[in-house]
């Protein structure tokens, strides 16, 4: 159960630490006692010494995309952990898997984080007119079907590029004219499975942003875009030929159409209509002054309409002559139901109808059209019109004019935030908790880059790695108070995850301290300094002094200092109103932070891992002292190695394997098939006397999935050997 609480200020943890330091001083001053007592600091020193730089590097590399991770049996590269991206959920699953591996039971807390509006630019139908796809600038593709009554738009797999034009061909394939994110280049994609996957079929240094694509009923097609980019195909899209952009005066080309297999039309931002009657080999042009033209459509070979900036052009003789019609709106799309009925839409929801092939127009005023821009239009039947633009799709039944039925579809997407928490229960006073936390989301500037490139190695892969390593090492420990490990979502968009968590703390819990880890991997001046940031508040000051004392007592190679004036904000501020000490551990003041902050360059190779390791040691030591750490719960066997049975067994995707060692030794954990052939090495290296847990994904040493069957785990080292049987099911 979760409820909003306002705990009273508590200094129990600080009193505990003070008493701890006093007892330590008395014991050290007594020679007689020194022969009998168990060193109260030794267990924490041993714990801190076990912080593994290699493990920290592994976590950071996996979180920032330097190394692949395995999620649900699939090999994944994380390129972003942005709170509103699809890959954020893969990162969450990775974190939950790690917690389970360490022996915890993670809890995922879900909260509403807002709605995202997508800039929908294009729509197209299947040739049977029973399926609709809508796509836009964010690469999101929504699909609806007639079988579902067009009532439910399902988000298909997202692509990394901006979708500006769409069409289908006679083979049922989807074609996407795209602009590449973060550049002026573009490409042409095709999907054969209804926008679940894509293949890039045309791109290059001289292929700029593509705005439109058209196919006829045979093998010919054309696409056009920026700087005079025109590509044509005559072999069903297997090969695309780029035309000389000087033919189009290097203008931006926004719309294209076909009236038969070899008759192509293209319109430009400079007021030109370009025509080819030989499949794009030669081109002629007509100019209509410097007036932007955006879209073109034909009904048959003779009747066509072009729309643009306050201008409509129409023809009834196959483009030999074009007649002009001035109109008071910025038009962006046109669709012809037949040779007489035409719809044109544009900026601000402008919608016009012509019933004489474009010679005269009347405004269509329908409440459900609203003020969103209309950017693409298509008739599915003579009187059924679909429109899209910005965050909306609309369906009009024009046979009921002047009061048509109008159906509105909101294509925004609800974004759910997800925090993940797990806890080491205290033995003596579990209701008292020490929180160690970090945020796992990342971002880049500008914000659009965050969807495709936000590795976040330092911000905040280091903080997350620090929490994971502390959780791993404390998993088998005994503490007086509980230690709560929390990884927050939505820090980069306003501390949303930590704010929600703070407002919904467990009833009855008493939080003694909150230590937040954020950016611990860049030592700008090579001085091993670390900032402890908090308020000008007694609770924060006492907590800061506790951390500084712990770093000194444990001989951690850091130079800590407390700061209250540097405006170093992170998730710790969400706990300020709870009356507990809440501080941030960070690599320095604002001027000290990594130069790769919020960029695509915040990658693992920029991290100073020796420095980062010391930061984690300092944080872990402070948490251990605050929680009253006494040592490991289960003693390691002293006379043999132990290989536990994998869990689950049989397994389908992943299985957890644990082993324990009596003393430091080099070990190998490998998998063998029934013929005795070694097929995979799960672990190989030198380990101390500890319990080690790993997850195996059922793949061989080359990364390929093994087939179903019986396999054997073999752990060998130090003259010992242990074997377990496991069963893989596919």
Question: What percentage of the chain reaches a pLDDT higher than 70?
Answer: 93
Does residue 52 carry a pLDDT above 90? yes
Q: What CA–CA distance (Å, rounded) separates 164 from 187?
A: 11
Contact 517, 436 (CB under 8 A): yes
Q: What CA–CA distance (Å, rounded) separates 665 from 52?
A: 16
Closest CA to 421 of 500, 361, 332, 481: 500
Q: How would residue 39 be classed by pLDDT, with cut points 50, 70 and 90?
A: low
Which ranges of 103-257 would DSSP assign to H, the alpha helix? none
What are the chain's domains? 12-110+416-628 (3.40.630.10), 291-410 (2.130.10.10), 642-728 (2.60.40.4070)
Prediction pTM value: 0.63
CA 72 centroid distance within chain: 17
DSSP string of 471-493, one letter each residue: HHHHTTEEESEEEEEEEES-GGG
Give the residue with greater pLDDT, 40 vs 499.
Answer: 499
Go through 413-439 and write b for each residue having 16 or more CB atoms within 10 A of its CB, e for each that does not: bebebbbbbbbbebeebeebbbbbbbb
Reduce the DSSP state of residue 568 to 3 states and report it: coil
pLDDT at residue number 304: 98
pLDDT at residue number 114: 85
What are the backbone angles phi and psi of residue 614, rounded to the nearest 5°? -65, -35
- 548 contacts: CB under 8 Å, gap ≥ 6: 532, 560, 562
Q: At what angle do helices 463-474 and 53-63 cross, to 10 degrees?
A: 130
What's the pLDDT tens digit per position in 454-476?
999 999 999 999 999 999 999 98
Q: What CA–CA distance (Å, rounded) separates 19 from 505?
A: 28
Cα dihedral 135/141/142/143 (nearest 10):
100
**What sign has the CA pseudo-torsion 200, 201, 204, 208?**
negative
Q: How would residue 10 be classed by pLDDT, with cut points 50, 70 and 90?
A: very low
What's the pLDDT tens digit per position in 474-497?
998 999 999 999 999 999 999 999
Look over the chain and give the mean of its residue pLDDT values, rounded to a whole number.
89
pLDDT, average across residues 82-102: 91
- 144 contacts: CB under 8 Å, gap ≥ 6: 131, 132, 134, 150, 151, 152, 153, 154, 393, 409
């Amino acid at each position: 159960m979760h409820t909003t609480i306002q705990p009273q200020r508590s200094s129990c943890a600080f009193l505990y630490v003070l008493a701890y330091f006093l007892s330590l001083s008395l014991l050290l001053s007594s020679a007689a006692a020194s022969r009998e007592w168990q060193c109260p600091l030794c267990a924490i020193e041993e714990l801190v010494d076990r912080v593994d730089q290699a493990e920290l590097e592994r976590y950071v590399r996996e979180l920032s995309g330097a190394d692949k991770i395995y999620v649900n049996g699939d090999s994944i590269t994380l390129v972003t952990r942005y709170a509103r991206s699809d890959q954020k959920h893969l990162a969450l699953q990775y974190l939950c898997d790690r917690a389970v591996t360490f022996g915890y039971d993670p809890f995922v807390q879900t909260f509403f984080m807002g709605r995202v509006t997508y800039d929908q630019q294009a729509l197209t139908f299947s040739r049977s007119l029973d399926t609709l796809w809508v796509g836009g600038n964010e690469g999101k593709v929504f699909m609806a079907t007639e079988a579902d009554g067009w009532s439910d738009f399902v988000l298909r797999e997202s692509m990394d590029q901006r979708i500006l034009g769409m069409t289908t061909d006679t083979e049922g394939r989807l074609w996407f004219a795209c602009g590449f994110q973060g550049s002026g280049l573009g490409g042409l994609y095709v999907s054969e499975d209804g926008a679940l996957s894509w293949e890039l079929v045309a791109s290059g240094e001289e292929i700029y942003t593509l705005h439109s694509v058209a196919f006829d009923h045979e093998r010919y097609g054309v696409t056009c875009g920026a700087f005079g980019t025109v590509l044509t195909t005559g072999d069903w899209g297997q090969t695309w030929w780029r035309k000389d952009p000087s033919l189009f005066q290097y203008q931006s080309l926004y719309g294209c159409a076909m009236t038969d297999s070899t008759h192509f039309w293209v319109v430009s931002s400079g007021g030109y209509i370009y025509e080819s009657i030989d499949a794009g080999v030669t081109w002629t042009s007509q100019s209509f002054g410097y007036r932007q033209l955006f879209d073109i459509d034909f009904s048959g070979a003779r009747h066509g309409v072009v729309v643009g900036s306050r201008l409509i052009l129409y023809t009834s003789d196959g483009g030999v002559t074009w007649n002009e019609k001035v109109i008071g709106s910025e038009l962006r799309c046109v669709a012809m139901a037949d040779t007489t009925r035409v719809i044109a839409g544009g900026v601000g929801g402008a919608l016009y109808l012509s019933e004489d092939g474009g010679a005269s127009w009347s405004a269509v005023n329908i409440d459900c059209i609203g003020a969103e821009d209309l950017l693409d239009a298509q008739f599915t039947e003579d009187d059924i019109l679909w429109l899209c633009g910005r965050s909306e799709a609309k369906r009009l039944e024009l046979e009921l004019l002047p009061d048509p039925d109008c159906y509105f579809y909101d294509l925004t997407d609800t974004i759910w935030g997800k925090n993940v928490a797990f806890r080491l229960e205290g033995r003596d006073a579990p209701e008292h908790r020490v929180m160690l936390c970090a945020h796992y989301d990342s971002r880049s500037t500008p914000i659009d880059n965050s969807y495709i490139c936000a590795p976040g190695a330092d911000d905040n892969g280091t903080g997350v790695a620090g929490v994971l390593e502390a959780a791993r090492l404390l998993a088998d420990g005994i503490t007086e108070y509980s230690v709560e490990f929390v990884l927050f979502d939505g820090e980069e968009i306003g501390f949303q995850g930590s704010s929600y968590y703070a407002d919904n703390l467990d009833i009855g819990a008493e939080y003694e301290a909150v230590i937040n880890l954020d950016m611990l991997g860049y030592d700008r001046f090579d001085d091993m300094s670390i900032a402890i940031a908090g308020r000008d508040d007694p609770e924060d000051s006492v907590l800061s002094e506790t951390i500084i004392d712990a770093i000194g007592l444990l001989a951690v190679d850091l130079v800590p200092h407390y700061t209250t004036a540097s405006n170093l904000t992170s998730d710790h501020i969400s706990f300020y109103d709870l009356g507990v000490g809440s501080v941030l551990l960070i690599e320095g003041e604002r001027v000290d932070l990594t130069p790769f902050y919020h960029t695509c360059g915040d990658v693992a190779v920029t991290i100073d891992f020796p420095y980062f390791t010391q930061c984690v040691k300092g944080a872990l030591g402070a948490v251990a002292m605050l929680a009253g750490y006494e040592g490991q719960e289960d003693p390691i066997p002293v006379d043999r190695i132990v290989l536990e049975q994998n869990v689950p067994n049989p397994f389908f995707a992943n299985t957890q394997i644990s082993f324990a060692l009596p003393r430091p030794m080099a070990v190998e954990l490998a998998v063998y098939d029934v013929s005795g052939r070694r097929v995979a090495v799960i672990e190989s290296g030198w380990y101390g006397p500890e319990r080690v847990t790993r997850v195996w994904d059922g793949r061989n040493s080359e990364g390929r999935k093994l087939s179903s069957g019986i396999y054997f785990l073999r752990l060998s080292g130090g003259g010992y050997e242990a074997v377990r049987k496991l069963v893989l099911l596919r």
